[in-house]
Every structure is written in C-alpha cells, then in structure tokens.
Amino acid sequence: MEPLAVDALRALARARGLELTEPELEGLLPLVEAARSMMESLRGAGLEGIEPACQYRIL
Amino acid sequence: MSDLFWQSAVDLARLVRTRAVSPVELVRAHLDRIEALDGKLRSFITVTADSALEAARSAEVAVMAGGTLGPLHGVPVALKDLYCTRGVRTTGGSKILGDWVPEADATAVARLAEAGAISLGKLNMHEFAYGPEGLNPHYGAPWNPWDATAHRICGGSSSGSGAAVAAGLCAGALGSDTGGSIRIPASLCGITGIKPTYGRVSRAGVLPLAWSLDHVGPMCRSAADCALMLGAMAGYDPRDQTSSVLPVPDYTSALTGVVKGLRIGVLRPFFIESAAAAQQDALAEALRALEGLGASLQEVELESVGLAAASSTAVVAVEAYAYHEQWIAKRAAEYGPDVRERLRLGAFVSGADYVNGQRARTVIRDGVDHLLSRLDVLVAPTTPIAAVPVGVGSVEIRGERTPVRGALIRYTRPFNASGHPAASVPCGFDGDGLPIGLQIIGRPFDEATVLRVADAYQRATDWHARRPPLVA
C-alpha cells in the first residue's frame, strides 16, 4: 500500500469540502494511514461471496 | 427514611406503591444529592428540578387516588443527553446543539414516563457519543466516584450515566452503546448495564452516532433494576423501522435465581488472555461462582473477532461522517479536538470499505450465533483495564503498551457488530479499589437469559452492592 502524502491528503480533503490547516493535516495523516491499513486488512479477509450484514430485521 | 438514594429501583417502586415513601420526598432526596455532589461529579448537563418536582406531585396524587400505577411509578431516573426530550434542551454533549430544544420525546423516554418514571435531567457524555473515555470539553469530564482524590474517567460514552447511578444521584439511567458505551461505563463505575439486541428498543428520537450499530438501554445498580427498566422501554415502535415486532417477555419474572444446567461459553482467546491481571483474577473468581451455582463452563473461541476493529472503524467512521458532514465542514471549531479529528477521518473511508465493514459484520454475527447454537450465554471481561486518570492515553497490559481508547472498546464492540444482547455486571475490584466488569452475551432477543445469569450472580455476590468512597 502506497503511503499517503500530506499533499494528497489535502487534495482529498478539499474534494470533500474540508479546508484543513497544515497542523490539522499532519495530525490527521497517521489516523488516515492507520484506517487505510485496517481497510486493507478487510480486503484480505476472505469476504468474497459474503453479503453485508442486514441489521434491519423483520422480526 | 434514610439513604433513599441507595435503594434499588425495584424497592423504590414498591415503597411508592405501598405509600411508604412519597414520590415528592424521593425526588427531593435525589435533587438534594445532585446539588451536594454534582459540582464535583459533573454527571449532569441539565437538571430539571422544577419539572421533576411537578411530576412527583402528580405521581403522589395518583398514588393517593388508588388507581393503577406503572411499574416505575415515582422512580427517579436520568437520561443521557442524546435522548430527545420535549421542551428540554438536548445537547448530545456538544456545543453545536447546546441550545437545541426538541419538540418531542424519544420513544424510550416517553415509555419510561408512561411507566411512571420521573426524569431528574440530562446526563453528561462524550461529545456526540464518539469516544469510550466519556470525556467532555464543553461540560467538563465526569468524575469517577470510585476515586475520591484522582480525577479518573468514567468510561463512555455514557459517562454521566455511569457516574450518576454509581453515586446514587438517580436510581437508573438511560445510556446508548455503539461500541460499548453502556457496558464500558458500567464496568468502570461498578454498576450494571445492558445493551439489548439491536431492534429490541426503539432508537427513535435518540441522536445517532452510527445508525446500524447504535443500541439503547438501561444502566442501574442491579440486574433486577435493569430488567424493570428494559421491560418498560422495549418493544416495537413504528417510529423506528429497525425495531422488532417480537413480543417483549416479562424480564422481571425471568429472574429466577437459577442457572443450574446453563451452558456458559468462556471467551478466553482474545478476551480473557489479553486482560490485565486483576481483570483475569476477577473473571476467574466470577467463573467459579457461576460454576458453584450449577452452570457448566466451556472455553470457546470467537474466531472472527479479529475482524471487529476494522469492521467497526469502517462502519462508525462513515455513518458518523454522514450525519455530521455539514457541521464538520462549516462548524468544525465548535467540536472538541478529539471528536473533530475522528469525524474528519470518516471523509477518507470509501464506500467499498464501508460495505466490507458490513460484510465483516456478517462473519462476526455468524461466529457469535454459531457459538450460541450450543451454549446459552458467553462471558468475557467487559474491559481489559479499570478506570485510568483523565489525560492518560496509554497503559501497559501484560508488558505491552496499549492505547486506552482501543483497550476500552476491545471486548465490547464485537457485540455491537453482531447485534447480540450483552450486559456488564460488577465482579470485583483491582488493587486501587476500582471496579471490574463481567460481560454476559446472549442469543438475539434473549435478554431474559442474560439478565437471569446477571441476577443469579448478584444474588450470590455483593460486588454490585458496594458503594464508592467519594459518596459512601
């Protein structure tokens, strides 16, 4: 997984309507990286063929 | 009558019903206690003294009239400040909703009132329920009553609920639980709380953190009190499309005190094995107690539990971001720093990640269902650690440095993902005199068995009857 640079994070944030300061971007970057790593782990978790949980029970 | 504030909700309801205590006397005693203690505890955001006394006077008239009384008639309770209350501000522990006054009650609030409960006010919480420590930069961090000298966390997000019930400021409280927010403060504050099955209690009128993971439920000083409150709150609600039409059993009648022959699965890998030594010792003693009551124990493993952290992160981050998107873009400065950062994170989790998180939930849910196909309940520690001082960000558990936030939700969030009912009951104290919680997980919509085990354990032990030093 390619590491995310602050510039890329800034661009992504702007695309989502978030104007973040440099310190805010630097503070957020490790959290985003940790989350990306977790999301990557889900992609490798053998979820193929499994449907999303449906919590809207008809019971 | 002295020490009314330490009486159980069950006993208070009986005392009111038999005219041994006046609802006005009861509410005044609790309001006096809030006045005396809450300057330090900071468990309330709003105290509704006038409306509580007015409701108490009406309750007294009803008692004297001799009509039919609800099961919680005259019992003082308090509400986490994310339950909408008609005419009373509902802040969500935030500055953003600091002056917001809803026009209608949450269904759970209305049902408690119909059952006769009297609300004393709105309880402090982690801002918008997004944090397991229970801290709050806008209304002050609640003080854990179990340490008179050091300011320790109550656990969250229902931190005010935990502190208020533990300190005898109310007989019971409403909490909400997206990753453990009923069970964690119950564990850290030495009280009992139950997160019912997803769909058992209506979420209508409850501010969301993550719709598909949010559960609402009671926090009290005993399982019997939780049974009484849950019975009053549970059941189908047309205002909540996810609420179940299954009939609500009489939870109080289910408390037989008998667990002989019950099959209990003990979650050791991931759960007990990674807890601190004091938690392990307390769990071992609790298991001996349950075995002594005739339950059979079997060690089991929830193999899918490793997916819980990533699944929960994906789902909570995206759902919370969706709810807060406009505010976080335009009013970011009004959030506390930790919640602001956590909410922003949701902007960088993709739709595919979200769906993968929900797919992982299927695997987790099926894993829990599989274990419970041959067992009646599962047990585990509620948290691997006890309450830490405010400001402490990491702890050492079994020689390994661990962030407090991750540790607090480690054992609870798998059952938000799965939707199974789960309770926390006090099961001991660590070397610093801080409470430890035992988590009991049951089959979907079988809160009755979870509460039966919790109640039987409390009949055999007195951990839940201990009182914190700050307010003893």
What is the tens place of the pLDDT at every residue in B231-277?
999 999 999 999 999 999 999 999 999 999 999 999 999 999 999 99
* B348 contact residues in A (CB cutoff 8 A): 9, 12, 32, 35-36
Q: Which of B8, B22, B119, B157 is catalytic?
A: B157
As for the ipTM of the complex, it is 0.94
In chain A, the domains with their CATH numbers are 1-59 (1.10.20)
Which two three-digit tokens encode residue B294?
């005739």
pLDDT over 90 at A54, yes or no: no
What proportion of chain B, given as a percentage, has pLDDT over 70? 99
Distance CA B66, CA B436 (A): 43
Give bridge partners of residue B266 from the DSSP assignment.
B299, B379
The yes-or-no verdict on residue A32 having pLDDT over 90 is: yes
- Please give, rounded to a whole number of angstroms, the shortest distance from the CA of B348 to a CA of chain A: 7
Among A12, A36, A42, select the one facing B356 at the smallest CB separation.
A42
Q: Which string of b and e fits B29-56 if b means at least 16 CB within 10 Å?
A: bbbebbeebbebbbbbbbbbbebbbebb
Q: Facing residues of B439 across strands?
A: B380, B424
Which residue type is seen at B247?
A: P
Q: Is the CB of residue B419 less than 8 Å away from at least one CB of chain A?
A: yes
Q: Which residue ranges form the domains of chain B, and what is each CATH number?
A: 4-471 (3.90.1300.10)
B70-115 pLDDT tens trace: 999 999 999 999 999 999 999 999 999 999 999 999 999 999 999 9
CB B379 within 8 A of CB B389: no
Rounded CA separation B9/B78 (Å):
12
Q: How confident is the model at residue B205 (pLDDT cuts 50, 70, 90)?
A: very high
Residues of B in contact with A20 (CB under 8 A): 344
What's the token pair of residue B45? 């955001």
Q: Which of B130, B242, B319, B359 to mutate to test the interface with A (most CBs of A within 10 A)?
A: B359
Question: What residues contact B423, with CB distance under 8 A and at least 6 apart?
Answer: B183, B186, B192, B193, B194, B195, B223, B226, B439, B440, B450, B451, B454
